[in-house]
């Protein structure tokens, strides 16, 4: 079935959310509406809708005038064999000892690797994005260097692929948290799919704001694959919850944003250990020294 998309951008989350709410009342009604922050530190937000019939141009123009958005870009999407698309676009990801794959590749697992089954879902982190891949590589490097971990937190866990990587390779107590309850539900499902039971405790929380995280601190390793703004806000809390000599693996950063994060975390007692760039994205490995 042919579908249509209508996309626009505008400044600020409140206006974008209001636009999204208004789009729900269009005729023909969209089958789905989404609001996403443009990850370039510009303050822009993208609002988009999916339609089974071509959306009304006049109605879209009126929304733009009302909410101060740029004109919608409407595109027609042809029928797609999504199973074939996933197989083509989401091949397995290899990051050191880790092999992240979808269920469509379950019959081709390599021997001697740590295999993690992550199907594309309503949460971030299949391993294909440069940020998740960078975190897996950074963790693999620490393991290769002989580092040991007793308590680990994955803050902003998405699919919990990083938390599962830890649970598969160490005896650490692992907690995965996300502000989005849907992501936490996906994480729990992924644990079951990988036959890992309750090897990772999954909680809904913003930052370290949960008794489970507070009770397990201080941590030998903290992952935070989020965005520049939240990483800056979390720096003091990260320092409070990290053991002296413990590591933080940070990502969700454009290459040009990394120096700012290094400086912010240096003021909280973290020193740079390694910096890894994958296309436009940087992953930082830091160590708490004070």
Q: pLDDT of 95-139, one tens digit each?
A: 889 988 877 666 777 788 888 888 754 434 444 457 888 999 999
Q: Is residue 83 part of a domain?
A: no
Among 58, 77, 96, the domain-final residue is 77
Q: Give the E-state strand segments of 60-199 in sequence order.
A: 73-77, 93-95, 98-101, 114-117, 151-155, 173-178
Residue 101 lies in a domain: no
Place of tokens 């083509």: 88
Domain carrying residue 182: 129-288
- Which two three-digit tokens encode residue 157? 């866990």
Q: Considering 16, 44, 77, which residue would you say is the last residue of a domain?
A: 77
pLDDT computed for residue 172 by the predictor:
95
pLDDT at res. 83 = 43
Say what the pTM is: 0.67
Cα 200 versus chain centre, distance: 17
Tell me the C-alpha distance between 51 and 69, whole Å.
19
In a domain, 98, yes or no: no
The string of pLDDT tens digits covering residues 131-170 is: 888 999 999 999 999 999 999 999 988 888 999 999 999 9
Taking only the tens place, the pLDDT of each residue in 161-216 is: 999 999 999 999 999 998 888 888 888 888 888 998 889 999 998 888 888 898 89
What's the CATH code of the domain at 52? 3.30.70.260
Determine, yes or no, domain membership for 93.
no
DSSP-assigned letter for residue 251? E
Q: How far is residue 255's CA from residue 101's CA, in Å, rounded to a whole number?
A: 27
Enumerate the β-bridge partners of residue 141: none
Choose the final residue of a domain: 54, 77, 100: 77
| Residue range 83-101: mean pLDDT, rounded | 67
Asked whether residue 136 falls in the same domain as residue 64, the answer is no
Q: What is the CA radius of gyration of the chain?
A: 21
On whether residue 100 sits in a domain, the answer given is no
- Specify if 117 maps to a domain: no
**Structure tokens belonging to residue 111:** 């021997």
Q: Categorize the per-residue pLDDT at 283 as very low, low, confident or very high, splitting at 50, 70 and 90.
A: very high
CB of 49 within 8 A of CB of 6? yes
Residue 95 included in any domain: no
Same domain for 148 and 15, yes or no, is no
User: Considering only CA atoms, which of 216, 97, 94 is closest in space to residue 149?
Assistant: 216
Pairing verdict, β 98-101 and 93-95: antiparallel
pLDDT score of 88 more than 60: no
């Amino acid at each position: 079935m042919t579908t249509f998309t209508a996309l626009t951008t505008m400044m600020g989350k409140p206006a974008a959310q209001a636009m999204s709410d208004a789009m729900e009342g269009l005729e023909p009604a969209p089958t789905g509406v989404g609001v996403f922050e443009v990850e370039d530190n510009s303050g822009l937000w993208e609002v988009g809708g999916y339609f089974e019939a071509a959306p009304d141009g006049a109605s879209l123009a009126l929304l733009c005038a009302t909410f101060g958005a740029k004109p919608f870009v409407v595109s027609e999407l042809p029928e797609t064999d999504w199973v074939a698309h996933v197989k083509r676009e989401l091949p397995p990801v290899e990051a050191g000892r880790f092999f992240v794959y979808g269920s469509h590749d379950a019959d081709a697992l390599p021997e001697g690797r740590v295999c993690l089954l992550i199907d594309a879902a309503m949460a971030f982190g299949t391993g294909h994005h440069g940020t998740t891949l960078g975190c897996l590589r950074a963790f693999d490097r620490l393991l290769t260097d002989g580092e040991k971990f007793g308590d680990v937190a994955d803050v902003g866990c998405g699919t919990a692929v990083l938390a599962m990587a830890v649970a598969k390779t160490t005896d650490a107590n692992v907690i995965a948290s996300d502000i989005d309850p849907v992501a936490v539900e996906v994480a729990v499902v992924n644990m079951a799919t990988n036959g890992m039971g309750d090897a990772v405790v999954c909680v809904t929380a913003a930052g370290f704001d949960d008794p489970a995280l507070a009770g397990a601190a201080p941590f030998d390793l903290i992952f935070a694959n989020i965005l520049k703004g939240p990483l800056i806000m979390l720096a003091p809390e990260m320092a409070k919850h990290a053991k002296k000599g413990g590591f933080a693996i940070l990502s969700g950063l454009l290459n040009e944003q990394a120096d700012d994060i290094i400086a912010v975390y240096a003021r909280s007692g973290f020193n740079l250990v390694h910096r890894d760039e994958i296309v436009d994205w940087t992953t930082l490995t830091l160590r708490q020294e004070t």
